[in-house]
Structure 1
Amino acid sequence: MNYKIIAAGAMALACAGAAHAQSAGSFILSTGWFHLSPQDQSSPFTLVSRGGTTFNDPIANTGAAVSDADTIGFTGTYFVTDNIAVEGVMGVPPKFYLSGEGQLAAFGELGQVRQWSPTLLLKYYFGQATQRLRPYLGIGVSRVWFSDAQITNQSFISNVAILNGPTTVSVENKWAAVFNGGFTFQITDHWYAGWSLSYMPLKTTATLYTPQSQSLVGKLNSVSKADIKLNPIISYINVGYKF
């Protein structure tokens, strides 16, 4: 008799969980912590032009490395079916620090930039809607743009021949694919915990403008650049609430 009561109780709990699971029409808001780890690689700094003359002259043994970054993230997930969901992802723009490589390594940190990368994902959740633990795979697209880019190292500006004067920097905006995988775990009828890992193949160009670059013939307008592969691996640990 006791076993029947226990079995009936377990069935009731299962049914209660099913009524509040990730099923078609469910909407989940979550927040958590992003860690972005660029798998970066840089081309040499290249003098593009000076005084209106085109050079495209790479400076050997130069480049830039990009730091890791952490930030707060937010997602909104809507289940179109029990297994298919669309998700919007946004985070507080993280700040990345750029440091010199090769013969520029002695300068240390060169500058900094913030990255904006709102993302739209299409995700497939495995298993049944009633399962507490649900792994998923996703694919999507991100619009990546950069703000507050600046060179902060005055020694770098003053002692590198292709600059040698007050310098500003811009970073090219890009579209990027996003490959995503992870899982969610149902804690209560409405609360969830989750973890995911994403990869974003991303290549951009940093362009440096020196309008009064010192040269042997006086001050000239100088433009230089470096191509940077960021290719970040992004981890996200979060808690969410289902409406």
Structure 2
Amino acid sequence: MKQAKKWMWLAATALLASSAYAQKAGDWVLGAGALNYSPQDKSKPLTFTEPFERQIAGSGADLKSSTTLGLNVHYFLTDNWAVEGVLGIPPRLKLNGAGTLAPIGELGNARLYAPSLLGKYFFGNADDKFRVSLGLGVTYSQFRSVRLSSGLQNTLGGAIGAPPGVAKTTAKIDSQWAPVLNIGANYAIDKNWGITFSVSYVPMKTDAKLTTTVNGNKVAVSQTRLTLDPIIPFLYVTYKF
């Protein structure tokens, strides 16, 4: 009888220990860590559309990767299904010249605001310490605080015959909705703390429109199309409530 009670006690202890790691229905899980935005980009040549149509032959751009603080929250609808919201400090992305624009160096930069909402499925059981997840969702990307370098502004001004420093160019990059595909590996350190590494892919294209003025008067408009298709690794620490 004593031996049976001992085994029952051990079994109960093991069950409690394993369930302590559970991510189960009704749980909230907060996360914070390093999020890297790595565009797999390509661009079409910069093309003047006003006052004439002319392509700057061989021109291109290269969008550099950027790392920032990422924040997210999961809410578990069931033991396997969760909803995730992702945001963070908007990274500043730098655009460098490529092709015939390469000698300019940096063409400009912009802040990226791209909150995401995903539905995710966690494989395995709620009390597993290690779980793989797959997610599908949507993001809305906005490019704000766009700044163009003096090198690019002088190049665009020179293309219409303006002396260096006379023409001023501003840019607007279109906001875009895009799908998000995600895979993650989740490890529970104890009943509250965990660590996750996930990778997202966002197929996305957008248009950039540049307006050149002289003494406040519009004298030229140019545009290009950017294919971003970023891969986004995200390593973060989690805390479960």
What TM-score results when the alignment is normalised by the length of structure 2? 0.90
Gaps of 5+ in 2: none
- Tell me the equivalent position of 1:80: 77
Question: 1:8, CA displacement in angstroms?
Answer: 5.4
Are 2:139 and 2:180, in contact at CA under 8 Å, matched by a contact in 1? Answer: yes
**CA distance 1:71–1:220, shift in 2 (3 Å):** closer
User: What is the DSSP-based 3-state SS (H/G/I as helix, E as strand, rest coil) of the residue aligned with 2:151?
Assistant: helix
Are 1:47 and 1:162, in contact at CA under 8 Å, matched by a contact in 2? Answer: no
Asked if residue 231 in structure 1 is aligned to residue 229 in structure 2, the reply is yes
Q: In the aligned structure 1, how far is the partner of 2:151 from the partner of 2:109?
A: 15
User: What is the DSSP-based 3-state SS (H/G/I as helix, E as strand, rest coil) of the residue aligned with 2:50?
Assistant: strand
Are 2:169 and 2:211, in contact at CA under 8 Å, matched by a contact in 1? Answer: yes
1:145 to 137, 142, 146: 142
Which digits, 9 at most, give the CA deviation of each residue in 1:184-229, with x for residues without a partner? 111011111100000001111111111229xxxxx76211011111
Asked if residue 157 in structure 1 is aligned to residue 158 in structure 2, the reply is no
Alignment of 1:24-173 (within 5 A): 24-50=25-51, 55-152=52-149, 154-160=150-156, 161-162=158-159, 164=162, 165-173=167-175
**CA distance 1:232–1:17, shift in 2 (3 Å):** same
Question: 1:16, CA displacement in angstroms?
Answer: 2.9
**CA distance 1:7–1:192, shift in 2 (3 Å):** farther
Asked if residue 197 in structure 1 is aligned to residue 193 in structure 2, the reply is no
Q: In the aligned structure 2, how far is the partner of 1:19 from the partner of 1:184?
A: 15
**CA distance 1:136–1:97, shift in 2 (3 Å):** same
Q: In the aligned structure 2, how far is the partner of 1:6 from the partner of 1:187?
A: 26
Letter in 2 for 1:224: S
- Tell me the equivalent position of 1:222: 220
User: What is the DSSP-based 3-state SS (H/G/I as helix, E as strand, rest coil) of the residue aligned with 1:167?
Assistant: strand
Q: In the aligned structure 1, how far is the partner of 2:77 from the partner of 2:187?
A: 19
Q: In the aligned structure 2, how far is the partner of 1:7 from the partner of 1:132?
A: 23
User: What is the DSSP-based 3-state SS (H/G/I as helix, E as strand, rest coil) of the residue aligned with 2:168?
Assistant: coil
Q: In the aligned structure 2, how far is the partner of 1:68 from the partner of 1:20?
A: 35
Question: 1:15, CA displacement in angstroms?
Answer: 2.4
Q: In the aligned structure 2, how far is the partner of 1:101 from the partner of 1:59?
A: 12
RMSD across aligned positions (CA): 2.2
Identical positions, percent: 38
User: What is the DSSP-based 3-state SS (H/G/I as helix, E as strand, rest coil) of the residue aligned with 1:157?
Assistant: helix
The count of aligned residue pairs is 232
**CA distance 1:104–1:83, shift in 2 (3 Å):** same
**CA distance 1:194–1:7, shift in 2 (3 Å):** farther
User: What is the DSSP-based 3-state SS (H/G/I as helix, E as strand, rest coil) of the residue aligned with 2:17?
Assistant: helix
